[in-house]
Amino acid sequence: MKNKINYKNKKVFVALSGGVDSSVTAILLKKQGYAVTGVFIKVWQPDFAGSQWKKDCADAKQICDILDIPFVVLNLGKEYRRSVFDYMITEYQKGRTPNPDVMCNKKLKFGAFLDFALKNGADFIATGHYVYTSENLDVSRPSLKLGRETSKFFKSKDRKLMAGADKNKDQSYFLWTLTQKQLKYCLFPIGQYKKSQVRKLAEEFGLPTARKKDSQGLCIIGKVKMKEFLRRFIPQKQGDVLNQDGEIIGRHKGVYFYTLGQRHGFEISKKGVLDKPYYIFAKDFKNNSLTVLNKPAGGFASKYGKNEIEIKDINWIAGAPPDLSRKYKARIRYRQPLQGCGLQNNAKKIIVKFDIPQWAATPGQSLVIYDGEICLGGGVIV
* Catalytic site positions: 104, 219
d(CA 333, CA 202): 30
User: For the chain, how long is the longest CA-to-CA vector?
Assistant: 69
* Closest to 264 measured CA to CA, from 275, 240, 280: 280
Question: What is the H or E stretch that residue 304 is in?
Answer: helix 300-304
What are the C-alpha distances in Å from 294 to residues 125, 266, 311, 327, 361?
A: 48, 14, 28, 33, 18
Whether 73 contacts 57, CB under 8 Å: yes
Sequence-distant (≥ 6) Cβ neighbours of residue 113 within 8 angstroms: 13, 15, 39, 41, 74, 76, 125
What are the C-alpha distances in Å from 103 to residues 95, 137, 173, 232?
A: 18, 27, 12, 21
Q: What is the DSSP letter of 49?
A: G
What is the chain's Cα-based Rg?
Answer: 22
DSSP-assigned states of every residue in 287-300: TTEEEEEEPPTT-H
Whether 45 contacts 222, CB under 8 Å: yes
Sequence-distant (≥ 6) Cβ neighbours of residue 298 within 8 angstroms: none
179 CB neighbour count, 10 Å cutoff = 15
Phi, psi angle pair for 48, to nearest 5°: -70, -10
310 CB neighbour count, 10 Å cutoff = 18
